[in-house]
Amino acid sequence: MTIDRRQFIGNAGLALLGTQMAACGGVDRLPVTTVPQSGFDEDSTAEEVTEGVDLSGKLAVVTGCTSGIGYETMRVLAKRGAYVVGTSRSLKRAEDACRSVAGVTTPVQLDLSDFDSVAECADAIRSLNTPVDMLVCNAGYRGGGNDRQLINGVEKHFVINHLGHFILINRLMERLYLAWQARIVIVASRTAYRDAPEDGILFDDLAMSRDYSDSLAYGHSKLANVLCSLQLGEILRGTRITCNSLHPGVIKTELDRNLSAFSRFAWGAYVKLAGKSVEQGAATSCYVATSDKLGTTSGRYFEDCDAVTITGGGHMQNQAMAERLLNTSIELTADWLVEFKKPNWDEFENGIRGDRTN
Ligand SMILES: NC(=O)c1ccc[n+]([C@@H]2O[C@H](COP(=O)([O-])OP(=O)(O)OC[C@H]3O[C@@H](n4cnc5c(N)ncnc54)[C@H](OP(=O)(O)O)[C@@H]3O)[C@@H](O)[C@H]2O)c1
């Protein structure tokens, strides 16, 4: 049988689309009525959702600033006046990205698969001696086909997408406490309910040795992102720090670089059919990081700039699983975590410690 290029694109795109739609069966997205509606939608861009927002005097950290959604998030937050720390595994790439956007930015090296690197990144940010107003945990990894990779005995997606960011949040927590109103924004994905294992987080098999594919592992790590945000929302209740997670949309970025040639091709076709631009893809991150409407909103999951509840499947609101995830994450990363305590406000003026020490 011969198959022409057009048919191939169509079939590949339809196959992927079919999986996405099948995986979605029975799942509903309901608006959260207690969170103010944004007034934006899937077509809104990051610039549009931050129109009129003045971020001068605020520090934002954006992980994975060198391409895709992270680059656009850094560009727009800097355009609105924030001082942005942008990270990459390569300091050179972070420098190039920072140099290419208007505004005040600082490049810092960060490899989320290497916990020493995460600690060094946090130290570099702490050495700026300023409160952290926005921490956008954006960097992400997807791919590898069926070649399961482990880091310290734990599956690679889970380590990079969840545990690395978990340590970074912990080590910047004291700086977040110093901000007038700090926001942790975790860029998750709707694969958290579409592609994650049916049982949710695989606490007894974090190496994913029983059943593995890169999409299952990616969904697993993204469910960890959502549950981590849910639990941090709970723990941080009553503080001035909020934590929310989000799905940015389906966007053609560099995220497919580690997929097989076929999957990359199919993904490209799917994005053409149903995707957003990068400018639209960064909108929910920028909105959740900056909107006045969300000052006290925490532990929520957002799509297209609005908080939604996912019903009919998955573990998106599973508080017991979220609590267990946090405890497990603490055990797995204990050697890199720091104890932090709420600052003694008498030592600070306008958020800055009087003697300007760490
Ligand atoms: N694109 C989509 O359709 C989509 C859909 C749902 C969710 N997301 C999520 O959106 C976020 C951004 O993805 P994107 O689509 O913009 O992908 P991208 O273009 O591949 O950007 C990913 C960023 O993460 C950084 N990164 C990759 N591996 C890293 C590691 N081990 N340590 C530290 N940084 C690392 C990369 O920087 P360097 O290579 O320079 O280190 C890059 O800047 C990810 O969390 C992704 O899961 C994307």
Question: What do you get for the CA distance between the two ends of the chain, in Å?
Answer: 68
In a domain, 91, yes or no: yes
What pLDDT was estimated at residue 341? Answer: 72
Going residue by residue through the chain (358 aa), what tens digit of pLDDT does each one get?
332 322 322 333 333 444 444 445 578 999 999 999 999 999 999 999 999 999 999 999 999 999 999 999 999 999 999 999 999 999 999 999 999 999 999 999 999 999 999 999 999 999 999 999 999 999 999 998 889 999 999 999 999 999 999 999 999 999 999 999 999 999 999 999 999 999 999 999 999 999 999 999 999 999 999 999 999 999 999 999 999 999 999 999 998 888 888 888 888 888 888 899 999 999 999 999 999 999 999 999 999 999 999 998 899 999 999 999 999 999 999 999 999 777 776 666 665 555 544 4
In a domain, 112, yes or no: yes
Pairing of strands 182-187, 241-247: parallel
DSSP-derived 3-state class of residue 10: helix
Q: Whose CA is nearest to atom 8 of ligand 1?
A: 189
**Total domain count, the chain:** 1
What pLDDT was estimated at residue 6? Answer: 27
What pLDDT was estimated at residue 298? Answer: 98
The ligand 1 atom nearest the CA atom of 139 = 24
75, 101, 253, 279: which to mutate for ligand 1, most atoms within 8 A of CB?
253
Q: Whose CA is nearest to atom 33 of ligand 1?
A: 111
In a domain, 353, yes or no: no
The ligand 1 atom nearest the CA atom of 89 = 41
Cα–Cα distance, 202 to 221 (Å, whole number): 10
Position 130: which residue type?
A: T
In a domain, 16, yes or no: no
In a domain, 316, yes or no: yes
In a domain, 354, yes or no: no
Concatenate the DSSP letters of all residues of 65-126 into one string.
Answer: -SSHHHHHHHHHHHHTT-EEEEEESSHHHHHHHHHTSSS-EEEEE--TT-HHHHHHHHHHHH
In a domain, 151, yes or no: yes
Q: What range does the domain containing 273 cover?
A: 36-48+55-333
Token pair 């004291």: residue: 174
Contact between 107 and 91 (Cβ < 8 Å): yes
Establish whether 301 is a catalytic residue.
no
Contact between 69 and 145 (Cβ < 8 Å): no
Please report the beta strands in the chain, taking only residues with DSSP state E, as ranges in sequence order.
Answer: 28-31, 59-62, 83-88, 105-109, 134-137, 150-151, 154-155, 182-187, 241-247, 301-303, 306-311, 348-349, 352-353
Cα–Cα distance, 194 to 312 (Å, whole number): 11
Contact between 138 and 64 (Cβ < 8 Å): yes
In a domain, 346, yes or no: no
Cα–Cα distance, 168 to 176 (Å, whole number): 11
What is the Å distance from ligand 1's center to 70 Cα? 7
What pLDDT was estimated at residue 119? Answer: 98
What pLDDT was estimated at residue 313? Answer: 86
CATH code of residue 144: 3.40.50.720
74, 88, 194: which to mutate for ligand 1, most atoms within 8 A of CB?
88
The ligand 1 atom nearest the CA atom of 94 = 40
